[in-house]
C-alpha cells in the first residue's frame, strides 16, 4: 500500500473518464486532470465525440444536486467549440468555498444529441493536519476488519448505478489521502457490476504503517458514496481473504495432485481474468491455470482448473480472480490435505 503525505494530481485516476450510457471499453475519449483536489483547484477537461467545429456548452452538477453554469465573471455562458477532430477542452476553477464531494461535468451540443459526463472530486483538507477521515457510511462491508501488515482486505459495496465508474481513495492514519495500491497489479480503475454492486481488494505490504485506514468509494455518475474503515495491527493474525459471492470450487479439498475446478461469475463478457492464491502462511503467489489463460465466456462466467503440485504445503488456500477490465473480484477457498 503506497501512502503519500499530500494530495497528488494522479489521485483517483478512476474518475478521469466517465461517459453516460457508454461502457468501460469506450470510456477512453474523456479525461479530467487532476481527478481530485481541494476547493480552489483548477481542473482541466478534454472529451471527444462531437462534430468538427460545433458549439459545445458545459454545466457542473454539485454533490448536493445543484447545477452550476460554466460562465465568465460577468455571468455569460462560455461557449466552447470542438476542434477538427470533434474534441473540446476547457478548464474550471472551483470556488474557495466549494462543498466536498463528487462533481459531474456535463458537456453537450446544442441539440443535446451528444452528451459527455466527466466525474471529479473536490476534497476539503489538502494539508494532512487539516484532513479528517469521514465516518463509515452506506452499504459497504470489509473483511477482515483487522489484520497485520501484508493482509489482503476484501470490500463489498452496493447502491451504485450499473457499470458506472467508482472512484476509490484512502485516508491513512497520519491524515494524508492517497490512492490505493491494489492486489498484485496496482490496479486503480473500478466499475460497478450490472446490479450496481462492487467488490474490490486492498493488498497491504509488510511495511504498511499500523493504524486506522478509511476507504471511500464514490460513484462518478450517481454520486453515491460508500465509506468503510479497517485497522492494521501487527498483533493481529494473518487470515485468508473472505470468500465472495459467485465463486465456487470442486472439490473443496483434496491431496496434492488434485485438480481443483473453479467457477466465478459476474465478469464482463469475454474479458481476461487474472488469478493468484494466498497460501496458508499468508504469503501471496501468482499462478497459472491448467491449459489456456483464464477468460470469461459470453455470459461473464470464468472457468479454470489448477492442479495442486506434489509436496504442496497442506492447509487452506484462497483463490483470487479479478476481471482485467471490470475489476470485479471473486475469492473462493479450497484445502490441500496431507
186/308: higher pLDDT = 308
Segment holding 261, helix H or strand E: strand 259-264
Contact criterion met (CB below 8 Å) for 201 and 187: no
Q: What is the pLDDT of residue 131?
A: 43
Instruction: For each of the domains in the chain, give its residue range(s) and CATH number, in order of start.
Output: 13-122 (2.60.40.1930), 128-232 (2.60.40.1930), 247-336 (2.60.40.1930)
Q: What is the pLDDT of residue 176?
A: 64
Q: Assign 265 to helix, strand or coil.
A: coil
Segment holding 107, helix H or strand E: strand 101-109
193/34: higher pLDDT = 193
Share of the chain above pLDDT 90, in %: 27
Average of per-residue pLDDT across 221-244: 83
326/300: higher pLDDT = 300
Give the dihedral of Cα atoms 195, 321, 283, 154; nearest 10 deg. Answer: 0
Residue 247 has pLDDT above 90, yes or no: yes
C-alpha cell at 215: 476507504
Q: What is the pLDDT of residue 289?
A: 92
Residue 116 has pLDDT above 60, yes or no: yes
In this predicted structure, which of 87-91, 133-137, 266-270 has the lowest mean pLDDT?
133-137
Average of per-residue pLDDT across 32-53: 82
**Taking phi first (over 0 means left), then psi (-120 to 50 degrees means alpha), and beta for anything else, what does residue 211 get?**
left
For 139-189, write each residue's pLDDT tens digit: 788 888 898 887 878 888 999 999 887 877 777 787 666 655 444 444 446
119/149: higher pLDDT = 149
Q: What is the pLDDT of residue 35?
A: 67
Amino acid at each position: 500500500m503506497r501512502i503519500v503525505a499530500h494530495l497528488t494530481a494522479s489521485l483517483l485516476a478512476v474518475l478521469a473518464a466517465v461517459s453516460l450510457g457508454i461502457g468501460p471499453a469506450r470510456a477512453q475519449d474523456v479525461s479530467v486532470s487532476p481527478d481530485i483536489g481541494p476547493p480552489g483547484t483548477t481542473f482541466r477537461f478534454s472529451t471527444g465525440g462531437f462534430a468538427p467545429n460545433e458549439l459545445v456548452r458545459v454545466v457542473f452538477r454539485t454533490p448536493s444536486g445543484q447545477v452550476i453554469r460554466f460562465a465568465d465573471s460577468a455571468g455569460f455562458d462560455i461557449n466552447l467549440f470542438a476542434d477538427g477532430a470533434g474534441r473540446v477542452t476547457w478548464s474550471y476553477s472551483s470556488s474557495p468555498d466549494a462543498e466536498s464531494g463528487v462533481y459531474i461535468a456535463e458537456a453537450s451540443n446544442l441539440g443535446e444529441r451528444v452528451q459527455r459526463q466527466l466525474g471529479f472530486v473536490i476534497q476539503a483538507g489538502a494539508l494532512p493536519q487539516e484532513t479528517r477521515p469521514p465516518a463509515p457510511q452506506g452499504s459497504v462491508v470489509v473483511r477482515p476488519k483487522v489484520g497485520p501488515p501484508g493482509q489482503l482486505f476484501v470490500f463489498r459495496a452496493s447502491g451504485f448505478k450499473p457499470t458506472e465508474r467508482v472512484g476509490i481513495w484512502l485516508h491513512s492514519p497520519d491524515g494524508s489521502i492517497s490512492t490505493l495500491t491494489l492486489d498484485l497489479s496496482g490496479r486503480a480503475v473500478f466499475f460497478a457490476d450490472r446490479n450496481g454492486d462492487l467488490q474490490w481488494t486492498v493488498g497491504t505490504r509488510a511495511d504498511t504503517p499500523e493504524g486506522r485506514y478509511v476507504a471511500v468509494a464514490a460513484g462518478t455518475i450517481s454520486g453515491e458514496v460508500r465509506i468503510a474503515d479497517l485497522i492494521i495491527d501487527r498483533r493481529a493474525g494473518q487470515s485468508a481473504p473472505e470468500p465472495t459471492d459467485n465463486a465456487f470450487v470442486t472439490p473443496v479439498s483434496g491431496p496434492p495432485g488434485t485438480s481443483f475446478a473453479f467457477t466465478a461469475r459476474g465478469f464482463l463478457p469475454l474479458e481476461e481474468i487474472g488469478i493468484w492464491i494466498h497460501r496458508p502462511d499468508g504469503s501471496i503467489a501468482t499462478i497459472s491455470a491448467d491449459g489456456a489463460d483464464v477468460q470469461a465466456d459470453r455470459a461473464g462466467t470464468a472457468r479454470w482448473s489448477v492442479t495442486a503440485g506434489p509436496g504442496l504445503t497442506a492447509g487452506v488456500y484462497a483463490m483470487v480472480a479479478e476481471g482485467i477490465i471490470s475489476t470485479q473480484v471473486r475469492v473462493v477457498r479450497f484445502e490441500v490435505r496431507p
